[in-house]
């Protein structure tokens, strides 16, 4: 694409739509809210914001957007998902329930129908409830200028990645660094594990081709549009 200011849509059904639109504009894009299939047809890339993933699935169906979005993603449309957007972009979604003795369950998330744009297994609400929200400074591969301040709100995590998925950022692994708010350790990955190169920490940012996802909310950090600028560059390159 040679467009210097690509048109990037923000799925405007739930979540921080206004914040994403503003960050995209500052990042060099022409932002557009997307609520209808005809609006989706006019964008070069799409942002899926945070929210509640089961509700977003129902809204995608109700606005007759699920299949159009899925088809555009399958055809190579660039996309960026933050928090619940990461959940929707995954290929498999697990719920946050834990079994007896603290063992992690592998229960599929009821009501969430993933768009399968990323070859990842995502566990939603992995860090706990709203009260367990936290912030951290993260080194994100491909983002220059120092650590990215990351805001985690009922955030998911990536438990497994496929061979074509690039891990961009992790938080502290189990047993190292400070505990999470409330004294809890970070969520442990599935026992059958992610690839060794991805298991050094809890995965919170990934990329596969033209699709980017973060478990945190960069749109909530005013004055730092680096993640959105990175996505704008990805759209330009397609």
Note the pLDDT tens digit of each residue in 59-71.
999 999 999 999 9
How far is C-alpha 12 from the chain's CA centre?
16
Give the C-alpha separation, 234 to 74, whole Å.
Answer: 16
* Active site residues per annotation: 83, 217, 219
Alpha helices in the chain (DSSP H): 17-26, 37-40, 53-62, 66-74, 84-89, 226-237
- In DSSP terms, 167 is beta-bridged to 206
Give the residue from 60, 83, 62, 63 showing the smallest Cα distance to 73.
Answer: 60
CB 186 within 8 A of CB 180: yes
Give mean pLDDT, residues 218-236. 96
Give mean pLDDT, residues 131-138. 86
The pTM for the full model equals: 0.84
């Amino acid at each position: 694409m040679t467009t210097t200011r690509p048109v990037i849509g923000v799925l405007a059904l739930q979540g921080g739509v206004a914040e994403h639109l503003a960050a995209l504009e500052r990042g060099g894009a022409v932002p557009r809210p997307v609520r209808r299939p005809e609006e989706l047809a006019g964008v070069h890339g799409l942002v899926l914001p945070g929210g509640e993933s089961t509700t977003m699935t129902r809204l995608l169906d109700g606005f007759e957007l699920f299949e159009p979005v899925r088809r555009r993603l399958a055809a190579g449309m660039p996309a960026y998902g933050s928090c619940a957007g990461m959940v929707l972009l995954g290929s498999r979604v697990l719920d946050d329930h834990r079994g007896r003795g603290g063992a992690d369950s592998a229960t599929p998330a009821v009501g969430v129908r993933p768009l399968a744009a990323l070859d990842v297994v995502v566990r939603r609400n992995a860090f706990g409830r709203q009260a367990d929200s936290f912030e951290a400074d993260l080194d994100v591969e491909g983002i220059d200028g120092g650590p990215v301040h990351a805001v985690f709100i009922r955030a998911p995590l990536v438990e497994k990645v496929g061979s074509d998925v690039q891990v961009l950022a992790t938080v502290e692994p189990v047993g190292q660094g400070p505990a999470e708010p409330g004294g809890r350790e970070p969520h442990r990955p599935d026992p059958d594990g992610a690839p060794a190169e991805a298991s050094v920490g809890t995965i919170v940012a990934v990329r596969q081709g033209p699709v980017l996802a973060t478990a945190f909310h960069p749109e909530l950090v005013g004055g730092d549009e680096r993640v959105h600028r990175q996505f704008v560059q990805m759209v330009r390159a397609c």
